[in-house]
Amino acid sequence: DVQLTQSPSSLSASIGDRVAITCRAAQSISTYLNWYQQKPGRAPKLLIYGASTLQSGVPSRFSGSGSGTDFTLTISSLQPEDFATYYCQQSYVIPRYTFGQGTKLEIK
């Protein structure tokens, strides 16, 4: 299985801040990496797939980058609705999909 480690585990930021969340894979996974946003009591929502492609309908303030073992989700200017938990997920080894442990983004 491919282990994914996210950092930080939690993060406090203010409206308008630029934030970055990283996901490190235990082995190279090319660009087979997706990002999800989950709000309390809700299902996860796909934000980015293939490391950098924005899912339809997702605001352009979200962006993804990286390849190999190191990936980053960046939010360019935090909005109130962005406070949530974010997960990365790999699809390099199929069907053995795995997720990172999550990063909780809170209001400072």
- Window 55 to 74, contacts with another protein (CB under 8 A): 55
CA distance 2 to 25: 7
Q: How far is the CB of 85 from another protein (least distance, A)?
A: 9
Count CB-CB contacts under 10 A for residue 18: 11
> Can you say whether residue 9 is alpha, beta or left, with left for phi > 0 and alpha for psi between -120 and 50 degrees?
alpha
Nearer to another protein, 17 or 65 (CB): 65
- Cβ count within 10 A of residue 95: 5
Stretch that binds another protein, among 12-20, 63-71, 75-83, 89-97 (CB under 8 A): 89-97
Q: Choose the binding region for another protein from 14-22, 65-73, 74-82, 91-99 (rule: CB under 8 A).
A: 91-99
Find the binding residues for another protein in span 13-32 (CB under 8 A). Answer: 31-32
Alpha carbons 101 and 86: distance in angstroms, whole number: 9
Q: Give the footprint of another protein on this chain (CB under 8 A).
A: 31-34, 36, 42-46, 49-51, 53, 55, 87, 89, 91, 94-102
